Chain A
Amino acid sequence: MSKLINQPVEPELAGSFPVSFSFGQNFIIKYILKHWREAGEWWLNQPELFVYEVMTNHCRCELHFLPATGKWILYRLAD
């Protein structure tokens, strides 16, 4: 099961990689499962997106980073 969150977060970084973030509680990233980049629907002016699928101390999460604005989003939580 997964839950769509799509809320901004402000993770702590090591270099360009997230190591922890808060969303109701503190999520500590144990390791990055997958990391990829998406162009998005560029023809609709959607911005480019960096996707991080991470395993935290609570659950699997999908974090999005928007390089154009420097913002992070907690996109999804999964069991």
Chain B
Amino acid sequence: MFVHLHVHSPYSFLDGASSLEALLNQAALWNMPAMALTDHSNVSGAVEFQRIALGLGVKPIQGAEITTEDGTHLTLIAENKVGYQSICRLLTAGYSHGSRHQALVPWKALAENNRGLIVLSGCHHSGVAQAILGKNYAQAKAEALRLVEIFGRNQVYLEMVHSYLPFTKHLLRGLFKLHQELHIPLVATNNVHYLRKDDFHIHDLLVCTRTQTKLGELNVERPLNGESYFASAEEMKMRFAPFPDAIKNTLEIAERCTLALDLGRNLFPRYFPDQGPKKAIRFLRELTWTGARRRYSSISSPLIERIEHELNIIEQLDVADYFLAVWDLVQYAQKQNIRYAGRGSAADSVVVYCLEITNVDSFARGLLFERFLSLERAQKPDIDIDFDARYRDQVADYVYKRYGSERVASVCTFQTYHARSAIRDMGKALGFSPAELQQLTKNITSVPSDGIRSLLHRLPELKHHPLHQAKYSKLLDYCAAINGFPRQIGTHLGGLVVCGEPLTTVTPLQPSAKGVLITQFDKNTIEDLGLIKIDLLSLRTLAAVSDAMQQVGPQIAYGEIPTDDKPTFARLQRGDTVGVFQLESPAQRSLQSRLQADRFEDIVASVALIRPGPIKGNMVDPFIARRHGREEITYLHPKLKKILAPTYGVVLYQEQVIEIATEIAGFTPGESDRLRKAMTTYRSQREMEQIGEEFITKATERGIEKEQAELIFSYVVGYSGYGFCEAHAAAFADTAYRTAYLLEHYPAQFYAALLNQQPMGFYPPNTLCVQARNRGIAILPLHINESDVEFSAGERFIRIGLKQVKGMETAFLDSITLARTERNFSSMQDFVYRTTVNKDVTENLILGGAFDCFSINRRALLWNLPKLYQSKQGSLFLETPTTHTLHDFPPFDRWLKEYAVLSLTAQGHIMEFFRPRLSKKVLTTKDVEFAKETLQVAGLVIRPHRPPTRSGKTVVFLTLEDEYGLVDVTIFEDIYKKYAKTIYSEPLLLITGEISRRDLNERASIVASHIQALR
């Protein structure tokens, strides 16, 4: 018998080439009683490891291979729960002492956190091994004794790795000598980095990726041979034949170790720490019913039943404290006037609605609470809240203060390998050129990297893709082998975890690129540890809404915006939605004009429709045709009617997938949720096939014909990649409608607010100015005395803010506003002398037009500026400008310079300079609507992009902007190939093309046939 006590998984990040599942399956197959997981400086795989191991009857031993502050390695094994906590604290200390890329654990920290650990002296990078290899036996002895001193005699083993390297014999001999002299027991490991010897190639490729080398290049970190595999007990015995105790001791250690990871606990802090969970649920009940009376005019029996149903589940899952904590933080936001909006599946809950966390009435919408929380899945709730971007961190700070900084951290994410990233990394290591890799990844959509071959055969447009060539066959094998492996650790956008005890008893913490501390478990595994994530996201749209509301004043309350405002819907129907949350992209504007939204439900569907899933699944056209009665509504099975009727027979929402799986195949909520998750993440082709088989078997058992069941499943799978649940879409639609209302009724204030929150949304600031101008709102120029720091708005004007000037700093703004409180600036020199603004920024202010009010042209002001600054530094006397006779810049230059420093202009559109030179045949964007057939139009290029398309072919979408507005242009692959350089390098284009309109209501767009630069 033998137990592997030094094993790396893919969580060693590009240093482990076999999945935990594969390694543990092998251990179980060989009846190995236990296995230890010892990834480099992390325990990220611990939860998955323990779950799989216990399922296979293998004892999971938690551990980590750490690097000490002097750069040497050490293998730590958690003997028990205390030992696991020691590892968490040690890794935290290591990242604090080292850097975010490399944890270097100080020896002092090891001495302070030595409990519950069994220590193996380490691989050939260990202090002991390095000393032996350096022929410094005395040092090796000192290193070994240091371990004994820190951890205790019974806790330390000399680790022997028979790796068939040139120095192995010498190293093993040295370790044996130490053992004889110091009586420290030996232990054999194989420092496992992959399952089978053949997998060495994958490991080598991953190491090449990590070290940024190609296979043909040398790197000291690349392994010399493929001996670090998961060797059988027999082979290990053979390798260590002279040291039988080293083998025997692996079992001894395994027997000593007990389960170190506590799963399934509830570590969320109690809302009433001294009064137990009953008090929390009572309080939640009280708050919910108070909220229900506020939210609903009358409380019906079905509503009572629904709320009680939800509260019972919350009570049984013991998560009332979590709801109260979220309620507490939105209370804080409300008190601080911080705008927020709950989103995600939490909007499926009536309780959450009553607590005013979300604004979606899930009872009225008939939303499925089980999509959010169910007894069967027994998973932890996950509430996502968008906050005004300016104050999101303030809310996060509140959480840190409320619970203590040692109990709060951000959740990590793992960037995992998919098709494109796998092709890029494996291809690069194999030595393919960047140009070749670009060809190889072209048109490869976001599928698992083990599904590339299937994709190549499935899509007709990939029939001639280079990856079909035999020379890339190995590449595809390598890509498949690393499917889903984590590549690196990152920070979840807004997820915070709060713990009832110090977090380092549960997870190591390490710094992120942003500097905040992150856990080593992602959102999927963190909850198994008993932690619950609260998502605090920052949304600039909410900041813009707050800003606009402030500028509008008390005449309108955001919460009281009427939900059936006809002018707002008319705006949506025109597709005139630049600036509207979620509905402003060219695809959305086109959809709005085709859909002719006249009710809130249409907006909810819009939010869900323009997503990769529905677009690739060809759901948009049938949805619109059915919505307008132009296409018959059909169902694959009568049982689907009740589920799909609200969306005209089209599968649009995740809730519908769950209901289909339940209704057709009799899936339990847990099984349905597995299907939903598999579809939305689409991580593994194999997993999807397995679920498909289950679905079809169960459906046929329930009397559905096999072919029909297959058809229904294929229909549901077509929805893969689409990640919106109805509740989430409804929450977004609520904000979308309200922003559309503000845009319709308070355009100046709303555009000004959008300009203040840049960068945000789909369009650059100048486009927002053009849109505003076309609605009769004057864009007033920068003015050194009149401009506020930010954009400000009146009924029919927007004044450009000082903050917009390139290079402007807060200190300069403070200096300007402080000087103005005394008196307005009377001249350029008055400005220079009374502020601390530097010369470069003052130049930009001049070019932006801030001093035009002094009736001296910009060129003359620039000419005088150096003298003014010299005079400010060297003389007490104010110098008067003397060069009034200088002529100003020509108008076009003046325009360009203003645009360069403000990213927008008050002077009108650049096309106004070109218009007189253009033929009368070149239409303006406002004329395009009335044009027929072939036409020419010219304008500024806005956001050319190549989104994934249903066909997989490259299609470029861009918007042309002129002085009158916008027109969308579609460029198909043949034309794109011809003019690609022009499209992506020229700011102004003259495009010839055909009018395209899929139905009468749709805004006209252009399909380009010829493109040229406008200069």
Contact = CB atoms under 8 A, between A and B. Distances in A.
B146 interface: no
A37 interface: yes
A26 to B, nearest CB: 26
Interface in B157-184: 164-169
B169 A38 contact: no
Nearest to A36: B166
Given A48-B225, A48-B226, A36 B164 contact: yes
A48 B168 CA distance: 18
Contacts of B547: none
Contacts, number: 38
22 contacts: A34-B166, A34-B167, A35-B164, A35-B169, A36-B165, A36-B166, A36-B168, A36-B224, A37-B164, A37-B224, A37-B225, A38-B225, A39-B224, A39-B225, A39-B226, A42-B200, A42-B201, A42-B204, A43-B216, A43-B430, A48-B226, A51-B166
A37 B227 CA distance: 8
Contacts of B165: 36
B223 interface: yes
Nearest to A34: B166
A63 B227 CA distance: 20
Contact of B223 (A35, A39, A48): A39
Contacts of B167: 34
Contact of B215 (A32, A35, A37, A43): A43
A51 B430 CA distance: 26
Interface in B447-488: none
Interface of A: 32, 34-39, 41-43, 48, 50-51
Contacts of B225: 36-39, 48
Contacts of B226: 39, 48
A67 B268 CA distance: 57
Contacts of B204: 39, 42
Contacts of A34: 166-167, 169
Query: Shortest 5 CB-CB distances between A and B: which pairs?
Result: A37-B164, A37-B225, A36-B166, A43-B215, A39-B225
A38 B223 CA distance: 9
Nearest to B429: A43
Nearest to A49: B225
Interface in B213-234: 215-216, 223-227
A42 B166 CA distance: 19
Contacts of A35: 164, 168-169
Contacts of B216: 41, 43
Contacts of A36: 164-166, 168, 224-225
A43 B168 CA distance: 25
Contacts of A42: 200-201, 204
B128 to A, nearest CB: 21
A43 B226 CA distance: 13
Contacts of A51: 166
Most A-side CB within 10 Å, residue of B201, B225, B227 = B225
Nearest to B166: A36
Most B-side CB within 10 Å, residue of A32, A38, A41: A38
A15 B226 CA distance: 22
A52 to B, nearest CB: 11
Contacts of A48: 225-226
A15 B430 CA distance: 38
A41 B430 CA distance: 12
B783 to A, nearest CB: 66
B201 A38 contact: no
Contacts of B169: 32, 34-35
Given A34-B169, A48-B225, A39 B200 contact: yes
Contacts of A37: 164, 224-225, 227
Nearest to A42: B201
Given A35-B169, A41-B215, 17 more contacts: A32-B169, A35-B164, A36-B164, A36-B165, A36-B168, A36-B224, A37-B164, A37-B225, A37-B227, A38-B225, A39-B200, A39-B224, A41-B216, A42-B200, A43-B201, A43-B215, A51-B166
Nearest to B226: A39
A34 B226 CA distance: 18
Contacts of B201: 42-43
A37 B226 CA distance: 8
A39 B228 CA distance: 12
A32 B200 CA distance: 27
Nearest to B215: A43
Contact of A38 (B168, B215, B224, B430): B224
Nearest to A43: B215
A22 B972 CA distance: 72
A43 B223 CA distance: 14
A37 B215 CA distance: 18
A17 B344 CA distance: 66
Interface string B519-547: 00000000000000000000000000000
Nearest to B474: A43
Contacts of B200: 39, 42
Contacts of A43: 201, 215-216, 430
Among B166, B169, B204, B430, find the residue whose CB has the most chain A CB atoms closer than 10 A.
B166
A42 B203 CA distance: 12
A27 B434 CA distance: 52
Contacts of B224: 36-39
A32 B164 CA distance: 14
B211 to A, nearest CB: 16
A75 to B, nearest CB: 14
Contacts of B215: 41, 43
A39 B200 CA distance: 9
Nearest to A32: B169
A44 to B, nearest CB: 8
B133 to A, nearest CB: 13
Contacts of A41: 215-216
A48 B229 CA distance: 15
A63 to B, nearest CB: 14
Nearest to A50: B164
Interface string B727-739: 0000000000000
A36 B430 CA distance: 26
B965 to A, nearest CB: 56
Which residue of A37, A42, A51 has the most chain B CB atoms within 10 A of its CB atom?
A37
Contacts of A38: 224-225
Contacts of B166: 34, 36, 51
B365 to A, nearest CB: 57
A64 B201 CA distance: 22
B603 to A, nearest CB: 55
Nearest to A51: B166
B671 to A, nearest CB: 43
B49 to A, nearest CB: 28
B594 to A, nearest CB: 53
A47 B118 CA distance: 39
Nearest to B197: A48
Contacts of B223: 39
A39 B229 CA distance: 13
A13 B642 CA distance: 79
A18 to B, nearest CB: 16
A35 B168 CA distance: 8
A36 to B, nearest CB: 4
Contacts of B430: 43
B160 to A, nearest CB: 16
Contacts of B164: 35-37, 50
B220 to A, nearest CB: 15
Contacts of A50: 164
Nearest to B223: A39
A50 B165 CA distance: 10
B953 to A, nearest CB: 33
A60 B225 CA distance: 24
Interface string B240-262: 00000000000000000000000
Contacts of A39: 200, 204, 223-226
A68 to B, nearest CB: 12
B217 to A, nearest CB: 11
B479 to A, nearest CB: 15
